[in-house]
Amino acid sequence: AVPPEASNKSISNQERLQLRQKKLAPLMEEFFDWCRKHKTMTLPNSKLGKAFAYSLNHETTFKHVLLDGRLVLSNNLAERAIKTLVIGRKNWLFSQSFNGAKSSAIILSLIETAK
């Protein structure tokens, strides 16, 4: 497995990149080779077949973390950033008017941008 320091903020982006290339790159190659090998033995429309196809179709995209140490391996920051909007979404469905909903959207956008 990739050591925690590969995504830890306490190391530099260059050190993180080197760790990823050393530890993560071989694991990714092994995984995608395994997908290619087993894809031929799986029905294409099965859930596993679709998972293999998705993984192999996005292999290049997944490997972008091996090119830049600044890229994060998780979307936790983005998830946390929109959490307040998701929690309040049901409350905002019942705005009194279109203009009120539009005003709320503008204000919330400004607040989130300022954060």
Residue pLDDT, tens place only, 12-26: 999 999 999 999 999
CA distance 60 to 33: 13
Highest mean pLDDT among 46-55, 76-85, 94-103: 46-55
- Stretch 36-57: mean pLDDT: 96
Cα 70 to Cα 115: distance, rounded to the nearest angstrom: 21
Q: 13: burial class by Cβ within 10 Å (0-12, 13-18, 19+)?
A: exposed
* pLDDT surpassing 80 at residue 4: no
Q: How far is CA 16 from CA 27, 62, 63, 73, in A?
A: 16, 16, 14, 11
Span 58-83, average pLDDT: 88
Contact criterion met (CB below 8 Å) for 25 and 66:
yes
| Mean pLDDT for the stretch of residues 85-109 | 77
In this predicted structure, the answer to whether residue 1 has a pLDDT above a threshold of 60 is no
Reported as a pLDDT band with limits 50, 70 and 90, residue 67 is very high
C-alpha distances out from residue 18 to 71, 80, 87, Å: 13, 28, 39
Backbone angles phi, psi at 3, to 5 degrees: -65, 150
Taking a C-beta distance cutoff of 8 angstroms, is the pair 11, 5 a contact?
yes
pLDDT at 3 over 60: no
- Token duo for residue 27: 């694991």
- Mean pLDDT across the stretch 64-77? 88
